[in-house]
Amino acid sequence: QLQLVESGGGLVQPGGSLRLSCTVSGPSGFSLEPYVVGWFRQAPGKEREGVSLDKTSAMFRSYADSVKGRFTFSRDNASNTVHLRMTDLKAEDTAIYYCAVGTTYSWASSRFDYWGQGTQVTVSS
């Protein structure tokens, strides 16, 4: 079993920046390196959507069109932590952001086995 803990959400003005973090823990000797990690978000009244995917430290990395050029995924396998740097934030980025871990490189949230509790990001003036 893996445990995921997100942090870094908050209230930010349009055009501002935030960095989300997600630390993954597991059994003794666990390494995040072979796993696919995804960032997803869910806004009120909307379905959960994929924001960014990563496998094998940027050998495979994808972004949703809505965040491309503004969000940056990074991974620190030594600490089993991933980050999502979000810049030029817009009101439509307001959502609960989740990190997820799985073994399949897919935008389908059902393909991810482990999820964090989520962190709220609110973009408002």
The answer on pLDDT for 57 being more than 80 is: no
Which residues touch 49 (CB under 8 Å, ≥6 apart)? Answer: 40, 41, 42, 64
Q: How far apart are CA 48 and CA 84, in angstroms?
A: 17
117 CB-contact burial (10 Å; exposed 0-12 / middle 13-18 / buried 19+): exposed
Count Cβ atoms below 10 Å from residue 66 Cβ, excluding itself.
13
Cβ count near 13 (within 10 Å)? 9
Rounded Cα–Cα distance for residues 13 and 29 (Å): 41
Q: Is 77 left (phi over 0), alpha (psi -120 to 50) or beta?
A: alpha
Considering the chain, what percentage of its residues have pLDDT values greater than 90? 94
What burial class does residue 19 get, using C-beta atoms within 10 Å of its C-beta: 0-12 exposed, 13-18 middle, 19+ buried? middle
CA distance 30 to 2: 9
Reported as a single tens digit per residue, the pLDDT across 25-44 is 999 999 999 999 999 999 99
pLDDT tier at 59 (50, 70, 90 boundaries)?
confident
| Res. 58: pLDDT tops 70 | no
